[in-house]
Amino acid sequence: MAIRQDLLDILACPKCKGDIHLNDTKDGLVCEQCRLIYEIRDDIPIMLIDEAKPLS
């Protein structure tokens, strides 16, 4: 089960409050402004700044 679009529409980056989007593999949410990716585990986005990984 993937994250529903209506949930994606209301989620924001917890660091900058900017827009986020699914990455190509649909296993993370990307904030281009902060250059961070928030992992999705078991269809739940982990929206913790300390858990985010820098984009490579």
pLDDT confidence of residue 14 = 97
To the nearest whole number, what is the mean pLDDT of the chain?
Answer: 93
Tell me which residue of 1, 4, 31, 29 sits closest to 17, measured CA to CA.
31
Choice between 3 and 16, residue whose per-residue pLDDT is larger: 16
Structural domain harbouring 12:
5-54
Q: Quick check: 51 pLDDT over 80? A: yes
In the predicted model, what is the mean pLDDT of residues 18-23? 95
How many independent structural domains does the chain possess?
1
Please state, in angstroms and rounded to a whole number, the distance separating the CA atoms of residues 16 and 34: 7
Residue 1, pLDDT score: 59
The pLDDT value recorded for residue 5 is 87
Residue 10 belongs to domain with CATH number: 2.20.25.10
Chain centroid to Cα 55, Å, comes to 12
